[in-house]
Amino acid sequence: MMSDTFEPKIVAFVCNWCTYTGADLAGTSRMQYPANVRIIKLPCTGRISPLFIMKALEQGADGVLVSGCHPGDCHYTAGNYHARRKYTIFREMLHFLGVEPERLFFSWVSAAEGRKWADLVAEVTDTVRRLGPRRSAWGEPVEGIAAPRLSANPVPFEAPAGTFAAQAEAMREKAKALLAGGEVGTVIGYEQGTLPGTARPAFVSTPEEVDRLVWNEHCHQNLAVYAARKPAKPGKVALVVKPCDERSLVGLLQENRLAREDVVLIGMACHGVQSEGALAPRCAACQTRTPALADPVIGEATPPTATADPRLEQIARIEQMAPAERWNFWQGHFSRCLKCYACRAACSLCTCERCLAEKAQPRWIPAPPDGAGNLSWHAVRAWHLAGRCVDCGACSAACPADIPLYLLNLKLAQVVKDAFDYEAGRDPAAAPPLTTYREDDAQEFIR
């Protein structure tokens, strides 16, 4: 454009009332700053979706700046508070995916801070110019850097002898009673799968069919996925739930997907489930072993076998990688994604009738299962579950490409816990963390 040096393209999303006006003030005050920033004006930071940041990166922006009113000054009273929470999580997610954090900028610039705007643009431009062009296009691996592989040490599965059988018997008793008494029309539980060492969801509607139901370490699916669906048979539905599955029902209650009285919960005290012949990693240190909402709780839980969640170590290892390695780690996994959406279909909290991935006008996520399409899909999926995911493991278990989706979900759950002291699936009366705010939410990443 001007010379041979790299001239970055920087997209700035700014609110109309503070930063846009501040930028105007910089103009009326004739403050000089670099010409690399393209402002996109929106009414409020509340309207500046974090996904716009992703879209800008997808479209090749070298840097992205988001700026709005200082806390307390929002023209709409609270848009910036809500936005701040969203950016807190989204930013961490992008970092975890290997986006260079130095390319993303957040600031509060008031209508009176023309100087601040001019200085900010100069600093942002300088920073991005020094970083140079993006290392790779959105969803494409960085060349010349191998995708690191992670391995995990399987934890052997051990359940106290006889516990499953006794629980199964009590569960069937309860199911029969519910059906015989007409209290429910359908019981959704587990039955033997057609492959050795598997179980699968089963819908039974007569006491006689109940004998098909099983309960064992293979019952890993989260049956809450059927909770918000209309049953084929008339009457209420009873669900056989593990404690983690039950947490997703809390989310459904918070989001008005069903009412507590619409469903009967047969709660199973938990001993963990199996995954590939070993204890599922998420079960190793799980503290939620006994259902809290369920109508009956069947059996006694066994305590967790590990003190630390083995997956946290994996997360730590990912965080130790250089951003480019982290990026390639994820691109390596996402490159296998077929966009079969099994992760979404198996998720009990993905209840949208029309997923954003299927919104064609405009298209938020490139439709094809290619680099950009897969990365955007997985980013949106994880983002939409931030503060909502209850770590039931259904998405990872469903993925035919073995993408470790749980790592993303778990990372975001950690961020939410650290930033907002919130755990999903605990309190049906709690406001979901991305629909509320505190005036003193941390904001050290905002300049």
Partner 1 sequence: MARVGVFICHCGENIARTVDCARVAEYAATLPGVAHAVDYRYMCSDPGQRLIETAIREHGLTGVVVASCSPHMHEVTFRRTVARAGLNPFLCEMANIREQCSWVHEDREAATAKACELVRLMVEKVKWNTALEPIHVPVTRKALVIGGGIAGIQAALDIANGGREVILVEKGPSIGGHMAQLSETFPTLDCSQCIMTPRMVEVKNHPNITLYTYAEVEKVDGYIGNFAVTIRKKARCVDEALCTGCGECQSKCPQGKLKTSVIPNEFDLGLSRRPAIYVPFPQAVPNVPVIDKEHCRYFQDGKCGVCQKVCPAKAVDFTQTDQVVTEQVGAIVVATGYDVMSSGEYGEYGGGRYPDVIDGLQFERLLSASGPTGGEVKRPSDGKVPETVVFIACAGSRDRSHGVPYCSKICCMYTAKHAMLYKHKVHHGQAYVFYMDIRAGGKNYDEFVRRAIEEEGAVYLRGRVSRLYQKDGQLIVKGADTLSGQPVEIAADLVVLATAIQARPGSDALAQMLKVPYDGYGFLSEAHPKLRPVETNSAGVYLAGACQAPKDIPETVAQASAAASKVLGLFSMEQMEREPTVSVVNERTCIGCFDCERVCPFGAIEHREIRDRRGNLLKVVSHVNEGVCAGCGACATTCRSGSIELRGYTDEQVFAQIAAVGV
Partner 2 sequence: MAKALRTEALLDFLRAVQQDARRLVAPVEEDGLRLFRAVDRVEEITLAEGNTRWSFKEVLFPRSEALFHYRLSGGSVALQEPDQPEGETVVFGARPCDAAGLAVLDAVFAPNGRPDPDQAPEHEDPFYRRRRAQTTIIGLACLEPGPACFCTAVGLSPTGTAGSDLLLTPLPDQGVFLAEAVTEKGERLLAAHAHLFTDTDDTKEQATRAAEGRIQRTALSGVGGPLATLFEAPPWEELAARCLGCGACAFVCPTCHCFDIVDEGNAAGGSRCKFWDSCGFALFTAHTSGHNPRATQPARFRQRVLHKFRYLPERFGVQGCVGCGRCIATCPVNMDIQEVVAKVTG
**Binding positions for partner 2, rule: CB under 8 A:** 59, 149, 193-196, 198, 200-203, 221, 225-226, 232, 332-333, 336, 338-342, 344-346, 354, 358, 360, 363, 366-370, 373, 394, 397-398, 400-402
Residue labelled with tokens 């066994």: 302
Burial readout 428-446 (b: 16 or more C-beta within 10 A, e: otherwise): eeeeebbeebeeeeebeeb
Residue labelled with tokens 């009590």: 170
Which is closer to partner 1, CB of 74 or CB of 250?
74
Which is closer to partner 2, CB of 17 or CB of 330?
330
Cα(366)–Cα(371) distance, rounded to whole angstroms?
Answer: 9
Binding site for partner 1 (CB under 8 A): 1-2, 9, 11, 20-21, 23-28, 30-35, 38-44, 46-49, 52, 55-56, 59-61, 72-79, 82-83, 86, 118, 255-257, 351-356, 359, 361-362, 364, 384, 431-432, 434-436
The partner in contact with residue 356, picked from partner 1, partner 2, none with C-beta cut-offs of 5 to 8 angstroms by kind, is: partner 1
Which is closer to partner 2, CB of 310 or CB of 332?
332
The partner in contact with residue 75, picked from partner 2, partner 1, none with C-beta cut-offs of 5 to 8 angstroms by kind, is: partner 1
Distance of closest approach, residue 114 Cβ to partner 2, in angstroms? 31
Cα(378)–Cα(364) distance, rounded to whole angstroms?
Answer: 12
The partner in contact with residue 361, picked from partner 2, partner 1, none with C-beta cut-offs of 5 to 8 angstroms by kind, is: partner 1
The partner in contact with residue 346, picked from partner 2, partner 1, none with C-beta cut-offs of 5 to 8 angstroms by kind, is: partner 2
Distance of closest approach, residue 170 Cβ to partner 1, in angstroms? 35
User: What are the distances in angstroms from CA 222 to CA 96, 213, 247?
Assistant: 27, 15, 10
Q: Are 7 and 129 in contact (CB under 8 A)?
A: yes
Cα(380)–Cα(364) distance, rounded to whole angstroms?
Answer: 9
Q: Are 387 and 411 in contact (CB under 8 A)?
A: no
Helix (H, G, I), strand (E, B) or coil at 37: strand
Nearest residue to 156 via CA among 275, 308, 313: 275
Cα(12)–Cα(105) distance, rounded to whole angstroms?
Answer: 9
The partner in contact with residue 336, picked from partner 1, partner 2, none with C-beta cut-offs of 5 to 8 angstroms by kind, is: partner 2
The partner in contact with residue 339, picked from partner 1, partner 2, none with C-beta cut-offs of 5 to 8 angstroms by kind, is: partner 2
Task: Look at phi and psi of residue 14 and say left if phi exceeds 0, alpha if psi is from -120 to 50, else beta.
Answer: beta
Residue 421: what are its φ and ψ, rounded to 5°? 50, 50
Q: Are 347 and 341 in contact (CB under 8 A)?
A: no
The partner in contact with residue 115, picked from partner 2, partner 1, none with C-beta cut-offs of 5 to 8 angstroms by kind, is: none
Distance of closest approach, residue 65 Cβ to partner 2, in angstroms? 21
The partner in contact with residue 97, picked from partner 1, partner 2, none with C-beta cut-offs of 5 to 8 angstroms by kind, is: none
Distance of closest approach, residue 383 Cβ to partner 1, in angstroms? 9
Distance of closest approach, residue 345 Cβ to partner 1, in angstroms? 15
Q: Distance of alpha carbon 416 from its chain centroid, rounded? A: 10
Which is closer to partner 2, CB of 1 or CB of 232?
232
Cα(60)–Cα(136) distance, rounded to whole angstroms?
Answer: 9
Distance of closest approach, residue 203 Cβ to partner 2, in angstroms? 4
Distance of closest approach, residue 78 Cβ to partner 1, in angstroms? 5
Which is closer to partner 1, CB of 64 or CB of 263?
64
Distance of closest approach, residue 97 Cβ to partner 1, in angstroms? 19
Which is closer to partner 1, CB of 21 or CB of 275?
21
Spell out where 127-198 has E strands. Answer: 186-192
Which is closer to partner 2, CB of 65 or CB of 237?
237
Cα(38)–Cα(234) distance, rounded to whole angstroms?
Answer: 57
Distance of closest approach, residue 161 Cβ to partner 1, in angstroms? 44
Nearest residue to 64 via CA among 97, 87, 46: 87
DSSP 145: -
